[in-house]
Amino acid sequence: MNLMLFGAPGAGKGTQAKFLIEKYDIPQISTGDILRAAIADKTEMGMEAKKFMDEGQLVPDSTIIGIIKDRLAQEDCKKGFILDGFPRTLPQAEALNALMNDMGISLDKVISLNVPDELIVERITGRRTSKVTGKIYHMKFNPPTDEKEEDLIQRADDTEETVTKRLAAYHEQTAPLIDFYTNMGVIVELDGTKDVSEVTTDMFAAIEK
């Protein structure tokens, strides 16, 4: 089962990925994680990426694709995988497609979690982390009962200004990929505003259709 999770930041991709991993016993491939692993393992592509990062530059698509190629070739991906957070642009999607064609694999489903911007802003800006326990709360959906208010902090990238910028970048660069994957006939659009368990049920039903 070769899957891709798609959606704006805060749409619930990380939550749903856990259920997919449990059910299908396939790895989640997040570009941030595999980039860090490739650098830690000192792979050829990892070292190339590190060179760009050390110079304060963005890692080019060709290097990221090289790292994804190495990861997809590993034994635990033989049964399938869950791509999360990549591709983010049309050129990346086209490069990924070319890579998969070369490797003789294809995407079974692209699961798009649709959540309106105002709800995403509410979800992300309401998050707080306890300095004492490290637990993560939401001031509306999961408020703390036994934490002191002064111990709760908001991460810098959870502020409204940052979230709004990330959403603008998503709509400009990433949202056009919905058409790309629709044309390929692999996209499944789900209502990400539903309760977590309902989204999971809808997702499994769509995958196994």
129-171 confidence digits (pLDDT tens): 999 999 999 999 999 988 999 999 999 889 999 999 999 999 9
Supply the residues annotated as catalytic. 13, 88, 127, 155, 166
CA distance linking residue 158 with residue 123, whole number of Å: 9
DSSP code at position 74: S
CA distance linking residue 7 with residue 121, whole number of Å: 14
Tens-place pLDDT, residues 76-134:
999 999 999 899 999 999 999 999 999 999 999 999 999 999 999 999 999 999 999 99
Pairing of strands 109-114, 2-6: parallel
pTM given for the model: 0.87
Q: Helices 44-54 and 31-40, interaxial angle, to 10°?
A: 100
